[in-house]
Amino acid sequence: MRQTKPPHNKQSARVSLAFLIASAITLGMLILAITLVAQSYRGMEQAKVTAAAATARQLALSVDDRINAITQPPATALALLRHDPLTRSSTLELRRQRLPVIADVLTSSDIVSAVYAGYDNGDFFLFRKIRSSGSLQFPDAPATSRYLLQSLEYQGNLRKGIWQFYNSDLELLERRSLPDYDYDPRQRPWYQAARAGDSLQLSAPYVFFTTQETGLTLSQRAASIPGTVLGVDVTVTDLGSQLAELKQTAGSRLAIVSASGELLADADGNTEPDAVIRQVLEPGTNREIRRFHQQGRDWYGMAEQLGTLPDEALSVVVAIPSDELLADVWAALARQTAIAGAIALLLLILGWFMGRQVGKPLERLTDRVSSLSRFRFDTPIRSESHIREASELSIALDDMARTIRSFQNIATVLNRGQDLNQLLRDILDQIIAIVSQERGAIYLYSSHEHKLDLAVNRGLELPASLPAINQAADDNEIIRQLRNHISGHPVFAILRNRRKKLIGALIIEMEVGDHTHLSDDLIVFVDEIAGSAAVAIETRELIESQQALLDGFIRLVASAIDAKSPYTGGHCERVPKLAQMITEVAEQASEGPFAHFRMNEDERYEFHLAAWLHDCGKITSPEYVVDKAVKLETIYNRIHEIRTRFEILHRDAEIRYLQACLNGEDPTEAARSRDEAQAQLQADFGFLANANVGSESMSDEDVVRIRQIGAQTWQRHFSDRLGLSGDEQQALAGSPEAALPATEPLLADKPWHIRTWGDRVPPVQRDDPRNLWGFDMKLPEYAYNRGELHNLTIQYGTLTEEERFRINEHIVQTICMLDALPLPDRLARVPRLAGTHHERMDGKGYPFGLSGEDMSIPEKIMAVADIFEALTAVDRPYKQGKTLSEALNIMDKMTRQGHIDRDVFLLFVRSGTYRRYGAQHLKAEQIDAVDESLFMKP
């Protein structure tokens, strides 16, 4: 039963020392900073509010001064006018004579809007400015009007109202009679107040009857006539704009309000108190500064009593938005916070630095020990620290890690060593390092010569070999033999494989430290390590033996293919050599299309195997097809059968001549007929024999002539069903035997010449469900067609369509055979590399119909190597070996026709690889001068 590793105990989170120290310092600073900033904020807030209250009180004094400034000039003017003749004038004409004086009073102050007099008989005389406080009260007045005289005069019981408009020169512009002008000055508060006393009277703010302006009225009775009262209207419209100049912030609200809540002036031009002003004046609240929320904002509000017009209890109301009032406070607070934050950050860095200085050795040690827990034994553990405990712990852990790392290194060496000699050197070095020594050696046992040969030596004086070693002896006996030849303080470990057979001996000279005194533990330790080394050595020897066996098997298959046909011997050996020469040149390229082409060792070996096995499928190709030199050749050349038939026809001509002579016919004519017939037979056979040899092309006329020759007949007197093989009998099963003697054509395509596929159809068509490799080849209708006419009328070469497919099918068989092998992953592409050297760049090749974009550089190189070797080979029955220039010219045409890759071909030519190959494998007469520039043309 499989045992599981118990889970680690779950641990709570831990805090680093550096973080703890830094956090403590920073937290203390932050608490102090927050406390100081909060107290500072409250102090500055209170100071701001107190300053705002003081400003409000000062504002009340300023408003009092401004109201006094408004009323003082008109009061002075009124004191003078009470002695003016105007007070004694009884008619409008007399009163008009005083207009210049009154105009001077009006022009002397912008706030005096009208001067008037009320008489005890009800007459009223008022002279006002058309424009007062910058506004036009009478829009229908003449364009150049400056003044308006409003008069109301009683003539008996009739009341006569007149308006007269004057320009700035007091010239009358227009006169308007107002019969409905209904105004009695004696009923007005200003008249009644002044009539009752002798002092100057100041009215409460009110809206003027005529102009609808807000203002004050100053009135006083005439000095000599008590029934006449003089008045001056003073507008306070500008008081609001003057209040706006006193606003502390842009959003502040200032207003002068009476005790009844009437708005006398507003800094924002309002005619009624808004919600903020009403909130300040809310009944039941005291007049101290207070905070409230209104219109989505926090406000500070206060109201201060005005000293002017005490009977009216006027107040100046101030409301300031909290954010505007405290803007400076918040800015100062932000600065203080930034300073505190900077100090806190500085302290955090300082605390972190101090904590790191204290905790860094421990943290580094922890990280390195954690690396050990993750099997990172190559991490150095020792950590310099002024803390004694941390330093001693790091030394102990470093020693442990070094020991573990030594074991890991030797395991790596044992598992990954490729070359046996290097493997032995690495094993010896690691074992020496593990036991902290400096010298050692390894002997390997030769079972054939029964001796130990020195394989690796590190600083020891040892014999090259130790003879007469008995493999059957036990370890102690072998060690005794070794001690007879080796002096000093060595430790011996006998190396044995899995079958306990002797394979060598390990020797370590113990001369450093306490190990010079050998202990049983040390000997056992070295012996156990040596046992692992022995297994690794045996494994590597087996791998190398298997590699050698595989290479030998591959060469065996290639040699068997070449030996199968005397005409293609050496092809499977020459193509790998040429392909390797091209790949080496491609890997050396530093520019062009091969600048980045490189192969690792596994890829080179994979390509090497594929090159050697690229034609291994030819084992399945019929030998007579591969070696077919003439058109009628199968296992033998069937031209001999046809010659026999011609011999029969030749003899028949002789017989006809003799019969004609016996029958008494003209001997001369009969001889002439015989000679003509025999001469024609000689010519026809010569033509057929020449056609049988084959050529690069046959004309249509030659095909017609072959068929005409073949149409001749001859007599067969023997049965064609005797002495047949089972295959031949099966082919004739459906054809009845002709009666003898049978007349037959000289050349024929008979039914038994054809062999169908039957149940052995190769899976080369794309839609074949058995086609697991992606082949895309055209399948001939028949497996074989040995018809005489069919073969003799081949227009190109000597192969029929069926036989050419058999030749091409060797690629399919190559891929299928190699794909069936249990190749390791590093050799997985061997079937593909070996099976694509007949593909074309234009996609018209076989067996997959790949294009140049689908093929890798090694595949394109294989195709070029295969074609060049085939063109220059001198062991082919159907052609002569080409010279270098002829082969390269043909290949140049093939590149332009999309057959082979042009980049690989140009590399092949430029690098001179073709010439180096030719010097090694071609005949002297094939090596001619080559003009390489001819092939560089685009």
Distance CA 509, CA 886 (A): 69
Scanning 270-387, the segments in alpha helix (DSSP H) are 275-280, 322-325, 327-373
Give the 3-state secondary structure of residue 743: strand
Distance CA 292, CA 294 (A): 7
CB atoms within 10 A of CB 273: 19
Q: Is-contact 720 737, C-beta < 8 A?
A: yes
Q: What is the pTM of this model?
A: 0.50
* Inter-CA distances, 92 with 156, 162, 686, Å: 15, 10, 164
Query: Looking up tokens 């974009």, which residue turns up?
Result: 853
CA dihedral in degrees (219, 223, 229, 232; nearest 10)?
Answer: -40
Amino acid code (one letter) for 19: F
Closest CA to 364 of 9, 13, 16: 16
**Would you state the pLDDT for residue 4?**
43
Q: What is the DSSP letter of 937?
A: -
Distance CA 246, CA 551 (A): 107
DSSP string, 34-93: HHHHHHHHHHHHHHHHHHHHHHHHHHHHHHHHHHHHHHHHHHHHHHHHTTSGGGT--SHH
Please name each of the domains of the chain with its CATH number: 82-236 (3.30.450.20), 417-542 (3.30.450.40), 565-623+818-935 (1.10.3210.10), 639-797 (no CATH)
**Would you state the pLDDT for residue 274?**
74
Q: Please compute, for residue 808, the number of CA atoms within 13 A of its CA located in the half-sphere on the CB side.
A: 22
Residue 561 CA, chain-centre distance (Å), reads 51
DSSP string, 668-716: HHHHHHHHHHHHHHHHHHHHHHHHHH--S---HHHHHHHHHHHT-EEEE
Q: Nearest 5°: CA angle at 698, between 694 and 699?
A: 160
Strand partners for 151: 125, 162
* Inter-CA distances, 746 with 285, 636, 681, 789, 791, Å: 142, 19, 11, 10, 14
Closest CA to 301 of 288, 313, 312: 288
Q: Is-contact 323 305, C-beta < 8 A?
A: no
pLDDT along the chain (938 residues), means of 10: 45 57 69 70 64 64 68 78 84 86 82 86 87 67 88 80 89 86 84 82 72 78 85 73 67 72 68 71 63 75 69 71 68 73 73 64 65 59 60 67 65 61 75 77 83 83 83 81 80 80 82 59 68 70 72 72 63 86 91 90 87 78 74 81 88 90 90 91 88 80 88 88 82 83 88 82 85 84 84 82 80 82 84 87 88 91 89 71 88 91 92 90 88 84
**Would you state the pLDDT for residue 520?**
64
Residue 254 tokens, joined: 């200032």
Distance CA 214, CA 807 (A): 123
Q: Is-contact 277 317, C-beta < 8 A?
A: yes
Distance CA 799, CA 790 (A): 10
Give the 3-state secondary structure of residue 160: strand
Query: What radius of gyration do the chain's Cα atoms show?
Result: 64
Amino acid code (one letter) for 687: F
Strand partners for 164: 149, 175
Distance CA 662, CA 639 (A): 35
Strand partners for 320: 300
**Would you state the pLDDT for residue 132?**
63
Strand partners for 842: 851
**Would you state the pLDDT for residue 676?**
92
